[in-house]
Amino acid sequence: MPLGEARRRSCGPGGLKERHAASAGRIAAVLERTRIYLSAHLNNFSPLETDGGVDGWRDDVWFYIRPEAWSRIHGAEGAEDVARLHKAANMLRTDKGQTLQWRMGRNTPGRPRAYAVSIRVLDA
């Protein structure tokens, strides 16, 4: 099949809308999973500039979720795919470049990487 025809079929009437609806559904599902976990485990997050809680750190704007906690939350799907969906929803803060994680500040012992999710996810 020529490329132009394939493109018309995938972007033709309904094709683009169907893909957008599927993406929106996946985004909503992962945000809901994150919201449920964070709501139930708020005490597992410590203030910044500490060794962190079991699941990571928290400030007034962001949850900084340790990679192992991220895997507990979203274990059924790939961590990177789920992070990309959070980023598509403007709920993920990342370092410059291709990384989907955030390097913790100098005042955080060891400066680990974490998934920085907006606290707005609790309202999603």
Sign of CA dihedral 52, 54, 59, 63: positive
Domain span holding position 10? 3-123
Which three-class secondary structure state does DSSP give residue 93?
strand
Q: Which pLDDT score, from 0 to 100, does residue 100 have?
A: 94
Cβ density class 97-119: b for 16+ within 10 Å, e for less: eeebbbebeeebeeebebbbbbe
Q: Per-residue pLDDT for the chain (124 aa), expressed as one digit of tens each?
A: 454 444 444 455 555 444 455 588 999 999 999 999 999 999 999 999 899 999 999 999 999 999 999 999 998 568 899 999 999 999 999 988 778 999 999 999 899 999 999 999 999 7
Q: Which pLDDT score, from 0 to 100, does residue 20 have?
A: 52
Q: Please, is 61 exposed, middle or buried when counting C-beta atoms within 10 Å of its C-beta (0-12, 13-18, 19+)?
A: exposed
How many domains would you assign to the chain?
A: 1
Which residues are 118's β-sheet partners? 62
